[in-house]
Amino acid sequence: MSLLELRGVCKTYVDAQGGQALLADRLDLLVPGGRIVAILGPSGSGKSTLLKMVAGLEPPDAGSIYFAGQDLAAVPPERRGFALMFQDFALFPHLDVLDNVAFGLVEQGLRRAVARERALQMLAVFGLHSHARQKVWRLSGGEQQRVALARALITQPRLLLLDEPFSALDAELRTRLRDEFSQRIAATGITTVLVTHDEAEARAMAQQGFRLLQGRLLPLW
Ligand SMILES: Nc1ncnc2c1ncn2[C@@H]1O[C@H](COP(=O)(O)OP(=O)(O)O)[C@@H](O)[C@H]1O
Ligand SMILES: [Mg+2]
C-alpha cells in the first residue's frame, strides 16, 4: 500500500521569452509508508517543483496527488501535515534555537511553556541541549541543519520533504550528517521524500531512488 501517490502529474513553466520548461510529464510516483525515497536529477530538472506540488505550494497543471488515499487537490498546505526542509534559511534568525524547534508545536496550539519543554527534550536527543538559548546564526552550518531537522520532526509530520538538505555544507560534514539524518528519520518511521543531485547521498539514505529526467521518473534502485 502506498502512502503517497502521484498519478499523471503534469507541470510546465513558460518563461518570459515564451520558452517552455516541461518539469513533469504524466509523472507517476508511489511512496510506501515508512520509506525514504530519493529523487535525483540535475539542477533545473524540476525536483524542487515536484516537492512544492506535494507540499501544496504549487498546483499541478494536471494529474492527482493522493496521501493515505485522500486526493490532496483541495487540501491547503497547512492542513496536509507535511514538513518541508530546505537547504538554506530553514530557520528563523530572530528566534533562538529552542524557539525555532518549539515553533511548530506553538503553531499546533500547544502552550508555549509545554512546547519549549518538548523542544528541549528534542534538542537533548540531537545533542544540541547546550545551544538552546543561542541565536541560530551563532551555530555552525551542520548544527543549523540539525536544528532544522529537529524542528521538522517534533511536529510528527505525516510526510517529510527534504530539498537538498546538505548542499550548503562541506563534503565531510555532508557524509556525517546523511548517516545521522537517516538514522533519526528511521527511528521516527516518518515517510520521507529526499531530493538531491548527489547520488552517493541518495544511495546512502534512501531505500528507493529515481532519476527525474524530462518530466518522468526512471527507477534507479
Ligand atoms: N515559479 C516559476 N516560474 C517559472 N519558472 C520556474 C518557476 N519555478 C521554477 N521554474 C523553472 O523551472 C525549472 C526547474 O526548477 P526547479 O524545480 O527549481 O528545479 P531543481 O530543483 O531540479 O533545480 C528551472 O528552470 C526554473 O527556472
Ligand atoms: Mg531545487
Cβ burial 188-204 (10 Å sphere, 16+ → b, else e) = eebbbbbbbebeebbee
What ranges do the domains of the chain cover?
1-81+157-221, 92-156
Look up the CATH number of domain 1-81+157-221.
3.40.50.300
Cβ 44 under 6 angstroms from ligand 1: yes
193 contacts 159 by C-beta, under 8 angstroms: yes
Walk across the sheet containing 208-213 and list its strands: 82-86, 159-163, 192-196, 36-40, 208-213, 216-219
pLDDT of 88: 67
- What CA–CA distance (Å, rounded) separates 108 from 12? 34
Cα of 193 vs centre of ligand 2, distance in Å, is 13
Grid cell 515553533 is found at: 103
Which are the contacts of 164, defined by CB distance < 8 A and separation ≥ 6? 47, 86, 87, 195, 196, 197
pLDDT tens per residue across span 31-85: 999 999 999 999 999 999 999 999 999 999 999 999 999 999 999 999 999 999 8
Q: Whose CA is nearest to atom 24 of ligand 1?
A: 44
Cα of 136 vs centre of ligand 2, distance in Å, is 23
Residues of the chain with pLDDT > 90, as a percent, come to: 81
